[in-house]
Amino acid sequence: MKNNSIAVIGAGKWGQALHFALSQKQKVLITSRTKKEIENFVDLKTALECKYLIIAIPAQEIRNWLKENFVFNGQKILVASKGIEASSGKFLNEIYADFVPKKNIGFISGPSFATEVKQGLPCALVINSSSEKLFEQFSPFFPNFIKTYYSSDVIGAEVAGAYKNVLAIASGICEGLNLGKNAQASLIARGLVEMERFGKFFGAKKSTFLGLSGAGDLFLTANSTMSRNYRVGLGLASNKNIEDILKELGEVAEGIKTAEAIYNLSLQHNVYTPIANEVKHILDGKNPKDSLKDLLKH
């Protein structure tokens, strides 16, 4: 393994933005499923030989990708994905735990649209890991326009990053139905309470939901057409079917599968998650106006 070598795995929107950002300070390799014309693009084998890896592939694909491609040989890893595996209800840290020791892995969270990061606009991110040393190792790789914070609340950051995608779909629906800014602010505020309730059940800290990973990323994503999940919500409000919405989007919208995961987990553990449940029902074909009536019921 080469000392201080870094590679990004997954050259989608976020992988490419992180590659751009980290390349400001040092040479960073990048690889992906599909070969791309990007500087320092290498094959997967070469990337896996790096000491530091940043993995940016969709949450639902991670387990298979790890099974088929990954061999642990001491690498330090940052996970850039945000989602919960729908087929199992597992959080990403649980999936990675079968392949990588906990002290070798961290999870990125916080408000960070790839498009803005790729323009070098300022942003703040959290590196969540049981190991503060891992944060200290990765932090110097980030450019001056990204401020990094450390948190040990891995589960809190994971729940926040995944849940806000579902709430962004809900917020897009709210906007698409022209329900007004009062309704949208209420939805986002209640959504924050809901994600905290869900997170606390799994051991998350309240403070995580009030910071960058929770309120920060939620306010960003649930308020902007730059969010893919928000755009899914807009499409659902105009009665488009989900296949057409996804074809138009051409990129991942993690909130779709995460809504299913939250719905199942909340049923299993009896956690009250009314907004996420309605998003799941709308994705399954319920009329959004009926969902609204159900959410407003006393």
Ligand X SMILES: NC(=O)C1=CN([C@@H]2O[C@H](COP(=O)(O)OP(=O)(O)OC[C@H]3O[C@@H](n4cnc5c(N)ncnc54)[C@H](OP(=O)(O)O)[C@@H]3O)[C@@H](O)[C@H]2O)C=CC1
Ligand Y SMILES: O=C(CO)COP(=O)(O)O
Q: Which residues form the catalytic set? A: 164
Strands 123-128, 105-109: pairing is antiparallel
- Site track for ligand Y across 169-198, x = CB under 6 A: ------------------------------
- 255 annotated to bind ligand: no
217 contacts ligand Y (rule: CB under 6 A): yes
Residue 83, strand partner residues? none
CB 232 within 8 A of CB 253: yes
Interacting partner of 118 out of ligand X, ligand Y, none (Cβ under 5 to 8 A depending on kind) = none
Give the integer Cα–Cα distance in Å for 251 and 230: 13
41 contacts ligand X (rule: CB under 6 A): no
CB 129 within 8 A of CB 106: yes
**Taking CB under 6 A as the criterion, which residues in 147-206 touch ligand X?**
none
The binder of ligand Y chosen from 165, 208, 266, 277 (CB under 6 A): 165
Three-class SS state of 79: strand
CB 251 within 8 A of CB 12: yes
Nearer to ligand Y, 16 or 165 (CB): 165
CB 113 within 8 A of CB 227: yes
12 contacts ligand X (rule: CB under 6 A): yes
Interacting partner of 83 out of ligand Y, ligand X, none (Cβ under 5 to 8 A depending on kind) = ligand X
112 contacts ligand X (rule: CB under 6 A): yes
Nearer to ligand X, 251 or 290 (CB): 251
Nearer to ligand Y, 40 or 148 (CB): 148
- 191 annotated to bind ligand: no
Give the integer Cα–Cα distance in Å for 113 and 96: 24
Residue found by looking up tokens 């995460």 in the block = 258
221 contacts ligand Y (rule: CB under 6 A): yes
Nearer to ligand Y, 56 or 100 (CB): 56
The binder of ligand Y chosen from 113, 135, 142, 163 (CB under 6 A): 113
Stretch binding ligand X (CB under 6 A), from 185-193, 246-254, 264-272, 288-296: 246-254
Query: For residue 206, what is the enclosing H or E element?
Result: helix 206-210
Quick one: tokens of 19?
A: 């590659």
DSSP summary character for residue 30: E
Give the integer Cα–Cα distance in Å for 261 and 248: 24
Quick one: tokens of 197?
A: 């309730």
CB 32 within 8 A of CB 11: yes
Nearer to ligand X, 86 or 292 (CB): 86
Quick one: tokens of 160?
A: 């926040």
Q: Which residues here bind ligand Y, judged by CB under 6 A? A: 82, 111-113, 165, 168, 217, 220-221, 227-229
Q: Which residues here bind ligand X, judged by CB under 6 A? A: 10-15, 32-34, 56-59, 61, 65, 80-83, 112-114, 251-252, 254
Residue ranges at the known binding site:
10-15, 33, 82, 110, 112, 114, 164, 217, 227-229, 252, 254
